[in-house]
């Protein structure tokens, strides 16, 4: 089998995203090529791509599709997408027989145009922002053109299916976790209840300092906790709003209780989970529709037996059963969030019960190896790591 996927880096701990790149799956091996903003930085390469793309059998069809899209979305980004698609199609190794876009917005546009140019079939993965900030007309086009699409939440799957109800192309496939990297914690969680200043209850959050993570509301909720309640908040991650959040914490008078750790390596993030008493992520929907899907950090925290507090946003209720495996509050409701944090800080047995139930459920339902096997089967691989024998992915 041959294929391609467009991928970007992990932002879980605030690390810088990897540049967009195309991954070719050749005989079950991944080969990577990098395509940054070549339209601006490598105009000669784009010109060569244009010359090569014009000789491809799908040039006229791809050009018509691009011009139709450009009339509805006249933007630099749209022009860049077609430029990158021409380079991709012109530079594809001859043995590549399948393209896969790892996000449904810009990467899927590039792959869609490149597939038209090359005559290759293509598929896609859909996540969160790429689903909810892309225009519906464009989503419908991509659903019509792709062979199949997997998405990581049931909420996404329902929404995308309503846009193309008869296509039968949308499949739910949770990301899951590699639990070899997150072994079960050893020993019991601490039983502190916030009554002793020397033993504060540690609240942890891991995420980028961006609007959809809801950190402004979380700081407001923390500031509303009783003055005699002893807690400490640890934040792991970076992001453009971090300086603003630090200033907000100072204005609220809670800065001495907060430990801003910045981006950390995975091993240190895992250690932070094990050292915490409670995990909180106050996700919200931004004005432009951006939101989280099903944050991996919630699964990671649950894998370590942490009770989690989050919001009723997007697919989070698919992971957290309110009152059974965690607690959910309405988004942008600092009062409700503060009351919930107060209760969980005061009652360690309640935290332990929620964390234990969450750990057992996430380790049973969200194992990455199960979903990797399903994805491999979708690509025509009987087992991950084997060469593809499916005719459907070579035609």
Q: Is 192 within a domain? A: no
Q: Does residue 213 share a domain with residue 145?
A: no
Q: Does residue 162 share a domain with residue 65?
A: yes
Q: Does residue 254 share a domain with residue 385?
A: no
At residue 116, the pLDDT reads 97
**Residue 43 belongs to domain spanning:** 4-176+367-393
At residue 32, the pLDDT reads 45
Q: Does residue 167 share a domain with residue 286?
A: no
At 267, the pLDDT band (50, 70, 90 cuts) reads very high
pLDDT tens column, 160-185: 999 987 778 999 999 888 888 899 98
At residue 376, the pLDDT reads 80
**Is the pLDDT score of 41 beyond 90?**
no
Q: Is 195 within a domain? A: no
Q: Does residue 225 share a domain with residue 81?
A: no
The total number of structural domains that make up the chain:
2
pLDDT tens column, 243-264: 999 999 999 999 999 999 999 9
Q: Is 221 within a domain? A: yes
Q: Does residue 312 share a domain with residue 379?
A: no
pLDDT tens column, 327-386: 999 999 999 999 999 999 999 999 999 999 999 999 998 988 877 888 888 877 765 554
Q: Is the pLDDT higher at 69 or at 388?
A: 69
At 39, the pLDDT band (50, 70, 90 cuts) reads low
Q: Is 185 within a domain? A: no
Q: Does residue 135 share a domain with residue 65?
A: yes
Q: Is 35 within a domain? A: yes
What CATH number does residue 15 fall under?
A: 3.40.50
Average pLDDT of every residue of the chain: 87
Q: Does residue 373 share a domain with residue 336?
A: no
**Is the pLDDT score of 290 beyond 60?**
yes
Q: Does residue 376 share a domain with residue 339?
A: no
Give DSSP secondary structure letters for 226-274. Answer: -TT--EEEEEE---TTHHHHHHHHHHHT-GGGEEEEES--HHHHHHHHH
Q: Is 191 within a domain? A: no
Q: Is 304 within a domain? A: yes
At residue 36, the pLDDT reads 53
Flag whether the pTM goes above 0.85: no
What CATH number does residue 338 fall under?
A: 3.40.50.2000
**Is the pLDDT score of 14 beyond 60?**
no
How many Å is the Cα radius of gyration of the chain?
A: 23
Q: Does residue 31 share a domain with residue 169?
A: yes
Q: Does residue 358 share a domain with residue 233?
A: yes
Write the burial class of residue 61 (CB in 10 Å: 0-12 exposed, 13-18 middle, 19+ buried).
middle
Phi-psi region of 110 (alpha: psi -120 to 50; beta: other; left: phi over 0): alpha
Q: Does residue 26 share a domain with residue 138?
A: yes
């Amino acid at each position: 089998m041959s294929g391609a996927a467009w991928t970007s880096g992990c932002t879980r701990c605030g690390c810088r995203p990897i540049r967009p790149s195309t991954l070719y799956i050749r005989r079950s091996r991944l080969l990577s090529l990098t395509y940054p903003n070549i339209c601006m930085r490598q105009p000669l390469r784009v010109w060569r791509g244009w010359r090569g793309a014009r000789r491809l059998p799908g040039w006229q069809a791809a050009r018509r599709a691009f011009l139709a899209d450009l009339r509805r979305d006249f933007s630099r980004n749209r022009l860049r997408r077609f430029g990158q698609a021409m380079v991709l199609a012109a530079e594809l190794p001859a043995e590549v027989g399948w393209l896969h876009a790892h996000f449904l917005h810009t990467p899927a546009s590039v792959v869609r145009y490149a597939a038209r140019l090359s005559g290759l079939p293509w598929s896609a993965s859909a996540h969160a922002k790429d689903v909810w900030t892309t225009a519906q007309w464009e989503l419908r086009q991509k659903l019509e053109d792709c062979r199949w699409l997997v998405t990581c939440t049931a909420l996404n799957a329902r929404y995308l299916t309503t846009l193309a109800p008869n296509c039968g192309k949308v499949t739910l496939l949770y990301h899951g976790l590699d639990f070899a990297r997150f072994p079960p914690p050893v020993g019991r969680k601490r039983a502190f209840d916030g009554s002793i200043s020397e033993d504060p209850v540690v609240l942890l959050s891991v995420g980028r300092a961006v609007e959809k993570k809801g950190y402004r509301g979380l700081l407001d909720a923390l500031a509303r906790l009783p003055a005699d309640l002893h807690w400490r908040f640890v934040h792991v991650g970076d992001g453009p709003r971090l300086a603003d959040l630090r200033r907000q914490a100072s204005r609220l008078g809670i800065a001495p209780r907060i430990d801003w750790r910045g981006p950390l390596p995975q091993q240190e993030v895992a250690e932070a989970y094990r050292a915490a008493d409670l995990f909180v992520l106050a996700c919200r929907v931004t004005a432009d529709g951006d939101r989280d899907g099903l944050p991996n950090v919630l699964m990671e925290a649950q894998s370590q037996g942490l009770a989690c507090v989050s919001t009723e946003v997007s697919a989070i209720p698919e992971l957290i059963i309110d009152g059974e495996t965690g607690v959910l509050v309405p988004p942008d409701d600092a009062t409700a969030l503060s009351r919930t944090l107060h209760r969980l800080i005061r009652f360690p047995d309640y935290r332990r019960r929620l964390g234990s139930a969450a750990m057992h459920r996430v380790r049973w339902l969200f194992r990455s190896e199960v979903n990797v096997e399903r994805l491999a089967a979708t690509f025509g691989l009987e087992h991950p790591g084997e060469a593809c024998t499916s005719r459907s992915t070579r035609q």
